[in-house]
Structure 1
């Protein structure tokens, strides 16, 4: 196996990648730059206390014990470490390319937003897969070419992959005119049109996500559990799901889907009741309306929120009717909005999560196992419960621990989960072999375009 630049993929290359991540310094310790390292492994070899990264690290060292074998040493047991290795964020990269194209150069601007300044990630990403990077013109297209030296099976016939951002309102038309072969995140309102035309096909992914309203308790008065309860009772989640998900959504009551082990059926629930919201606030001594800020992302469609603005406007109307005075905010999804969320610049914010691997540690562990600026709270009971569940090696006991954790979380109410969805994709009828995945790991190397070459 070789990297796309011809360099060998071996144990030394694996350890180079792990050691690189572990030894990140400066701006690369910003949560926006190394979010997944921090959620899976924690801190770094020398963690800057002002970076926002966790102090302790799960990773200890990597040893190349033979040409094709590595030993990863951890600082404590972890039942979720192996499934976490399926994350694309831990894809192996060519050590030579990383160094040649300055992959470790970056900076945080005056607004606290991280930007890479090297060209590795934007012009020269170099892996081992069936397709190789060709070009990326931001806002226009990403082009990948078939790897003629790919080591594995690639029975499909795609030679060139072109990914283009399109206006969600224009995606169906682009499919109908033959401009594109397929698109992701089909708007629910287009399902009937696609399914009713034999020139097209509609595929769905299994529900493996959560849409939620995040609550940053560092922003007053959100540290008050009574305010958070009032917020939860104020939003008509069923109306949002019925109105904007085309029958592909179900109302969520906790921060992970029922398909994941450790889901608890008996968590605290907060039924829609705007009058109860007002009563809770007045009983807690607040004068109505209570002022809060609430943000949503622009220029994005996600499986758990196909139309963020529509969800947001419906929720704002609910909140304003239930004793709140909502100050609205918005920002472009990447990098501004995500960076603002990760660094605690919003009070309430619209967000969600598609699971990366099938373990509750990737849902509630990612959100609530340690103190994070996005959530703005410290609850040692929840932290300890999730720590215990992560290191437990008995599957039966892990199920019990995560059920207990879900109950604790929904009693504490760090946010408001509201939807699980089955995201949809549309293709022309001649696209064959596309295999949907709950975590969107869908290999184009298996896809055949009938009548194409």
Structure 2
């Protein structure tokens, strides 16, 4: 699930890169440049280490490919680096046939001597599972969060090379979501040859700083917290892109992003304030794409810390939150109140679940009955805009006022985005954290296992809530092939989550993307990413 989990800040060596060291690759005299005003800095450029869309937007999407890919704008799985695959009768063995003549990027810092082969696939995936590999711990503090949350350590029995163009993946049990998982960002394919060179030179962390992939764009340079530059891959297996130079202009402030868009300093801008949407739609120079998001925002209690270890306390606090007021103030018509952690736009959603009523008086009496008085707590507010929560500070202020009405005092805290995510994972974290996510593959398991799986405690499970009946149910649903049967289990899971209340589900948003009318070919991604393959810009 993507929303944000940082483990490693990019080394200072990467920030020192300059255009004198890494000039933009040669392009035609009439080179087209597209500037995207992004909302946050990438945490690194090895996508398997992270779980934020802002990081994947600047790494896996432009630089890398996967064995299989999501068709742009859908959750349909299509061939990627694997041109075809077969599945054994027992649904345990997947055999992938790789494309011929797939080139890795030639950059200022690496020149490949061969095309993509099976060694690259095995290396890219196996390092995430093999704890004895030096690449398993090449960045301090790695947890391979997405890999773990998706259950791959238990799901995958073997990854092996059959021949240079054939890879075999053997599962421990059938999985209904394995192909969708392999289309996710953490399954991006890196160059083993490049990794071997870095290891021999004692520069392994460079794999996360100076990326080499097979994707539509290749990395040029990164100036920390300022700009990321890419150039069209001249040898891209699926055809050279029409945009020659792709630039991510990192602009944290929503208002500034829109100002840059209107001024023509960027052609696409992420996550506008809902208050700005009507004006953007009225601008004759702009167009605004819009669709319901496969997302959710929530307030996650730390269930390992009293009194939040008691479900009755968590339910009482949930009843104290006026979620409609948050949606009205923060989204201004571009969102809806959430009662489940799954979005209603996706399959598996349980509309029969009854939400907690907004009832401050009952919440107060429930806290008293639970022996909780004079409670003081922290509420964490994200420092960046996300599609599921454009203004976490405002939401935190409203929650602060709601909790005050039931006798609970709240201190609002925040940190720089990467630090926010790192500190929020601490099992001893003081306070409830505002976060959320957008589905990475459209499968209910993605969000539910990521948020609530026992394997994610201390990482992606920000409530640190391991409830074995739910965990067993999710593991069962993962291996059932029939979607109708899986739906029943996910509906049951949502009933359990509502009853035990490890989080307060806050909202689901409508996703909007404003851009210049000169931009064509851009498709809104239901999975929350920003892709620029296939995009063009009129003169």
User: TM-score scaled by structure 2?
Assistant: 0.75
The root-mean-square deviation of aligned C-alpha atoms, in Å, is 2.1
Aligned ranges 1:267-306 → 2 under 5 Å: 267-287=353-373, 289-298=374-383, 300-306=384-390
The equivalent of 2:121 in structure 1 is 14
The equivalent of 2:79 in structure 1 is none
Match of 1:164, SS state, is strand
- Confirm whether residue 125 of structure 1 aligns to residue 232 of structure 2: no
Which stretch shifts more, 441-450 or 182-191?
Answer: 441-450
The equivalent of 1:111 in structure 2 is none
Match of 2:147, SS state, is helix
The equivalent of 2:495 in structure 1 is 407
Match of 2:464, SS state, is coil
Residues 1:416 and 1:183: Cα distance change in structure 2 (over 3 Å) = same
Counterparts of 1:187 and 1:386, CA distance in 2 = 36
Match of 2:128, SS state, is helix
1:215-235: CA deviation from partner (whole Å, max 9, x where unpaired): 111111001111101110111
Q: 1:72 aligns with which of 169, 173, 178?
A: 169
Aligned ranges 1:36-435 → 2 under 5 Å: 36-41=146-151, 43=153, 57-102=154-199, 118-122=205-209, 124-154=210-240, 157-166=242-251, 167-287=253-373, 289-298=374-383, 300-334=384-418, 336-344=419-427, 345-371=429-455, 372-373=457-458, 374-435=462-523
Match of 1:384, SS state, is helix
Residues 1:194 and 1:39: Cα distance change in structure 2 (over 3 Å) = same
Residues 1:28 and 1:236: Cα distance change in structure 2 (over 3 Å) = farther
Counterparts of 2:223 and 2:514, CA distance in 1 = 24
Check conservation: 1:32, 1:339, Cα contact below 8 A: no
Q: Give the deviation of 1:387 after TM superposition.
A: 0.9
User: TM-score scaled by structure 1?
Assistant: 0.88
Q: Give the deviation of 1:18 after TM superposition.
A: 1.6
Check conservation: 2:268, 2:514, Cα contact below 8 A: yes
Which contiguous aligned blocks of 4+ residues in structure 1 show a shift greater than 3 angstroms?
A: 24-33, 101-106, 440-443
Counterparts of 2:454 and 2:139, CA distance in 1 = 16
The equivalent of 2:33 in structure 1 is none
Q: Give the deviation of 1:329 after TM superposition.
A: 2.4
Residues 1:105 and 1:376: Cα distance change in structure 2 (over 3 Å) = farther
Counterparts of 1:412 and 1:73, CA distance in 2 = 36
Counterparts of 1:306 and 1:58, CA distance in 2 = 35
Check conservation: 1:210, 1:252, Cα contact below 8 A: yes
Q: Give the deviation of 1:280 after TM superposition.
A: 0.7
Counterparts of 1:105 and 1:384, CA distance in 2 = 43
1:360-419: CA deviation from partner (whole Å, max 9, x where unpaired): 000112112225133223311111111111111222211111111111111111101111
Q: How many pairs does the alignment contain?
A: 423
Counterparts of 1:212 and 1:333, CA distance in 2 = 17
Residues 1:129 and 1:205: Cα distance change in structure 2 (over 3 Å) = farther
Match of 1:444, SS state, is coil
Residues 1:328 and 1:80: Cα distance change in structure 2 (over 3 Å) = same
1:232-287: CA deviation from partner (whole Å, max 9, x where unpaired): 01111111111111311011100011122221122242111111110111122222
Structure 2 runs not aligned, ≥5 long: 1-101, 107-111
Counterparts of 2:200 and 2:496, CA distance in 1 = 41
Counterparts of 1:444 and 1:378, CA distance in 2 = 39
